[in-house]
Amino acid sequence: MLQIILLLQRHPRLSARELSERLEVSTRTVMRDMEALSAAGVPVYTERGRNGGCVLLPGYRADVSGLTPREAQALFAWSGRASLSQELGLHDALQSAMGKLSSTLPLQLQDDAEALSDAIVVDRRRWFADAEDTGALPVLRQAVVTRRRVAIRYASASEGRSVRRTVDPWGLVEQAGRWYLVAAHRGVARMYRVSRVEQVDVLDVAAVRPENLDLQEEWDRLRSGLERTLPAKGVYVLLRVRPDRAEQVRRISAPMLARGERVHDVPAEDDEWPRLSMRFRIREAACGILLGFGDVVEVLEPSDLRDELLRLAEAVVEVYSAGT
């Protein structure tokens, strides 16, 4: 009956058939509810004839949401993150829920909220990065909600092969366009990148989850632990850069630098090519980026990285020369 009021607030006149289709009930139920609303003092009535239908007295409002304009805009702006709800397998449910909520709002709030939603696009994917495979995400979401243990086949980067793990899922974290499962394996909390989950089976066993678990705190702890290990694998480099490409080298290198690091200018005497110094967080990434610059950059330090780049370049030349 409340939905009938809200629908008639938005539409001056709706037939019993239109109401029954929107509410997924019979026309008999609609007419019975109209009588009940009228008996309760709500100014609704029916008009017969070709242009008749169910009508709410003009000017009657029933704003049951209690939302402020800012609250309505916040909700509608968040609902614009279509990719997030799609990955979780909740897009249809979100659209349905927002439709129901929208029908409870005064027209001015609806217009302002929908205008903001239409004016915001959230693109979570990194530049030049492929979209993450999140096929396992809806199943993992359901396992988290129902607190069921799961068996996964996981493409482990550290082991270089697929492994099988039975884990207790604690929660899901979306970090810069990438989804991670926070779960316990043999009682030890770990993070698993969802795009590496090749198969997931929900078991008929209750997951073991700490009673007072704070997922945000657990994620911060796991993330900090990972980030502390990265600088040890990093490498400091001193580059000689072609002047017209120095800004490009800065821009492309910046995302792969160690945490808190930036590109530094180093004074150079009697040389038109500027010097740049930086610390990459992963040595292999430094090799790939620096080789990609070709003759635009020359690594001056460290010497062992120069030697490694030379070996890699020779190997590349050999590969591409084999077929000529």
Domain extent listing, the chain: 2-56, 69-118, 137-230, 234-321
**Per-residue pLDDT at 86:** 81
Fold classification of 137-230 (topology level): SH3 type barrels. (2.30.30)
Domain 234-321 bears CATH identifier 3.30.70.120: yes
Residue closest to 195 by CA, chosen among 216, 174, 215: 174
Instruction: Mark residue 14 as left, alpha or beta (left: phi above 0; alpha: psi -120 to 50; beta: remaining).
Output: beta
Q: Pairing state of beta strands 44-47 and 53-56?
A: antiparallel
This prediction has a pTM of: 0.58
Give the model's pLDDT for residue 266: 87
Residues of the chain with pLDDT under 70: 61-67, 78-82, 100, 103-106, 126-129, 227, 229-233, 323-324
CATH no. for 2-56:
1.10.10.10
**Residue 188 confidence (pLDDT):** 93
pLDDT at 81: 64
